[in-house]
Amino acid sequence: MISKLIFSALLMFSVSGLHAAVRVITSSQDLESIAKIIGGDKAVVESLATGDLDLHLVEPRPSMVFKVRQADMVIRIGMDLDMWMDSIIAAARNKNVTYGSPGYVDVSAGIPKLQVPEGKVDASMGDIHIFGNPHYWLDPVNGISMAETIMKGFIRVSPENEAVFRKNYTAFVKDLGDKIDEWDKKMEPFAGRTLVTYHNSWIYFSQRFHLDIVGNVEPKPGLPPTPSHLAKLIETVKAKQAKVILVDTFFPLQGPRKVAEKTGASILVVPSSVGGKPNVKNYFDLFDAIINELVSAFNK
């Protein structure tokens, strides 16, 4: 019995050593989607979190540690959004993917960051991220920078496949560029429209498509809405004529409903990540879903 177990372990070691594809673990399905395109058939990619989860609050689990333990590359959002990845990476003891290793990829590295706080930051400001607002993937133009950072990671880990990764990256950038043109055209008529969001997660999106976010349902990032804050928000919505309340799929709807009842604004429950709704299977689907919903709401 013992000899069989030892033999199985040795066999697994040898098989894993011969593994050709780059094994990639991402913290979100947005990163998984882009990494799958760049890696092509040279990579096996899996996300730890699903798109229907609040990425701030994913609970680290031993089964996640096991996946990172076996990875050649880890791709994360950074900017303190997926802080739970720190404990998973530390527990996995995989030198390929620790901070500074070739297989450690923090996609926020090349992103022009918004809302980077200045001066003292503390909990009186809510759940403020000291490195800036981390929801950068919701600007599709940032998808190009994300793809470039991921491509560089692939090349570091698997330099023999550099040509493949560069080719896949070029194709992705072209496809994304075409889609951005399409999305820009769809959103162009609605430039300057006002809206409310549940959490401060849509600043990159609104800047790209020239929308004006006039308030959040949360009084401060991460804090639940209070009656007094909702009362003020209702006044703001009326004054600024906001017609849409944008809510990520996982947030509760009680607060938005109160605002909608008093103002007549429409609640739009939209995915903020790939996997946030069943039909949102990749990074392109994500913006198709959000923009189609918004266009319908603005046209009402």
User: Is residue 92 a contact point for another protein (CB under 8 A)?
Assistant: yes
Q: Which helix (H) or strand (E) holds 25?
A: strand 22-26
Q: By C-beta, is 194 or 272 nearer to another protein? A: 272
Q: Which residues touch 49 (CB under 8 Å, ≥6 apart)?
A: 27, 28, 29, 55, 58, 82
- Residue 80 or 182 having the CB closest to another protein: 80
Nearest Cα to Cα of residue 39 among 31, 50, 51: 31
Number of residues that bind another protein (CB under 8 A): 58
Which 3 state secondary structure label does DSSP give 201? coil
Shortest distance, position 44 Cβ to another protein, whole Å: 15
Contact 204, 138 (CB under 8 A): yes
Indicate the SS3 state at residue 172. helix
Site for another protein in 49-78 (CB under 8 A): 50, 52-54, 57, 59-63, 65-66, 69, 76, 78
Nearer to another protein by Cβ, of 95 and 300: the residue is 95
CB 274 within 8 A of CB 286: yes
Decide if residue 255 touches another protein (CB under 8 A).
Answer: no
Helix (H, G, I), strand (E, B) or coil at 23: strand
Least CB distance from residue 143 to another protein, whole Å?
Answer: 16
Residue choice 25, 71, 107, 270 for contact with another protein (CB under 8 A) = 107
Stretch that binds another protein, among 24-32, 121-129, 136-144, 258-266 (CB under 8 A): 121-129
Find the part of the chain contacting another protein (CB under 8 A) among 88-96, 139-147, 191-199, 239-247.
88-96
> In which region does residue 184 sit, left (phi positive, over 0), alpha (psi from -120 to 50) or beta (all else)?
alpha
Residues numbered 138-167 forming contacts with another protein, rule: CB under 8 A? 149, 152-153, 156
- The yes or no reply on residue 260 touching another protein (CB under 8 A) is no
Smallest distance, another protein to C-beta of residue 228, A: 17
**Which residue stretches of the chain are H helix?**
2-17, 29-39, 62-69, 84-92, 142-157, 162-187, 203-208, 227-240, 254-263, 283-299
Nearest to 104 by CA among 91, 94, 115, 119: 94
In the complex with another protein, which residue's Cβ is closer, 68 or 294? 68
Residues in contact with another protein by the rule CB under 8 A: 9, 12-13, 16, 50, 52-54, 57, 59-63, 65-66, 69, 76, 78-80, 83-84, 86-93, 95, 98-110, 122-123, 127, 131, 149, 152-153, 156, 222-224, 250, 252
